[in-house]
């Protein structure tokens, strides 16, 4: 007795394309990529990747302007020096700012740790500490801006040499400072939600749809660590070069 082979229709979901078509199908249907990763984390990583390109373009533009200008570039050790006790100390404010922001990464990491332990009080306290350190950084950056503006630095000119210095400084540090300010605001909002138990009581609202789910704390931490990492590059290229 002969049996006829039955071909599956092309619409059969069990038939999967191979090669590049298979990769495209997996990504579009979420069969393989991000299968064990929440959409919140995935979208944050995609946002951080796009932000990396923006900061990279800013730093490349800064390096191009600095290397192509024929006018002498200001010495950062002199421009960013502070007079304390009658002596000029180079980069002292920048060093304190960097220490403050790097320290905030430590408190944020501990907040994520306690968040997954569901210790809401310690998580909220550490998030508030991170926000306080971030706000301190922004305050010192505002002082730095005020000092340079008072001394005559503008986006189109500065009294120490190349005119591109002012535009590069305000563009790069301003864009980064905006990121820090947004992060501080979001930390305060999330700390309040953690403190009052929104994640434990499944209180409806933004980012609190699942009971006992503290993943938003880790997502906030990803953003904050990225902001800290970007500052390390700004510190190296802008203040130490």
Using 50, 70 and 90 to split pLDDT, how confident is the model at 9? very low
Please state whether the predicted TM-score (pTM) of the whole model is above 0.75.
yes
Average pLDDT, the chain: 84
CA distance 48 to 52: 6
HSE, CB side, 13 Å, CA atoms: give it for residue 232. 9
Average pLDDT over residues 66-79: 88
74, 162 Cβ separation under 8 angstroms: yes
HSE, CB side, 13 Å, CA atoms: give it for residue 171. 16
Using 50, 70 and 90 to split pLDDT, how confident is the model at 191? very high
pLDDT(236) > 70: yes
Q: Which pLDDT score, from 0 to 100, does residue 35 have? A: 59
172, 144 Cβ separation under 8 angstroms: no
- Beta-carbon contacts of 33 under 8 Å, excluding residues fewer than 6 positions away, are 26, 27
Residue 236 C-alpha from the chain's centroid: 17
157, 145 Cβ separation under 8 angstroms: no
pLDDT(28) > 50: yes
Q: Which pLDDT score, from 0 to 100, does residue 8 have? A: 44
* 81-117 pLDDT, tens digit each: 888 888 888 899 999 999 999 999 999 999 999 988 8
Look-up of token digits 């970007």? 230
Residue 192 C-alpha from the chain's centroid: 21
Q: What's the alpha-carbon Rg for the chain, to the nearest Å? A: 25
Q: Which domains does the chain have, with CATH numbers?
A: 37-239 (1.20.120.80)
Q: Which pLDDT score, from 0 to 100, does residue 160 have? A: 86
Average pLDDT over residues 124-137: 97
Q: Which pLDDT score, from 0 to 100, does residue 23 have? A: 64
Least Cα distance to 134 among 105, 110, 109, 114 occurs for 105
Using 50, 70 and 90 to split pLDDT, how confident is the model at 198? confident
């Amino acid at each position: 007795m002969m049996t006829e082979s039955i071909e599956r229709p092309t619409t059969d979901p069990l038939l999967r394309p191979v090669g590049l078509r298979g990769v495209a199908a997996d990504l579009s249907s979420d069969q393989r990529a991000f299968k064990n990763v929440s959409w919140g984390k995935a979208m944050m990583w995609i946002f951080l990747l796009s932000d990396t390109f923006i900061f990279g373009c800013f730093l490349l533009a800064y390096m191009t302007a600095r290397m192509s200008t024929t006018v002498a570039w200001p010495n950062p050790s002199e421009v960013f020096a502070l007079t304390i006790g009658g002596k000029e100390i180079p980069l002292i404010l920048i060093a304190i700012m960097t220490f403050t922001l790097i320290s905030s990464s430590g408190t944020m990491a501990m907040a994520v740790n306690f968040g997954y332990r569901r210790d809401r009080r310690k998580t909220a306290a550490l998030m508030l500490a991170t926000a306080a350190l971030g706000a301190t950084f922004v305050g010192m950056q505002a002082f730095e801006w005020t000092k340079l503006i008072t001394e005559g630095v503008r986006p189109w000119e500065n009294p120490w040499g190349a005119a591109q210095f002012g535009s590069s400084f305000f563009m790069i540090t301003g864009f980064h400072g905006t990121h820090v300010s947004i992060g501080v605001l979001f930390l305060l909002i999330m700390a309040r939600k953690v403190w009052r138990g929104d994640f434990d009581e499944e209180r409806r609202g933004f980012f609190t749809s699942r009971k006992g789910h503290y993943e938003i704390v880790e997502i906030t931490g990803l953003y904050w660590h990225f902001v800290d990492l970007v500052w390390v590059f700004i510190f190296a290229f802008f203040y130490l070069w």
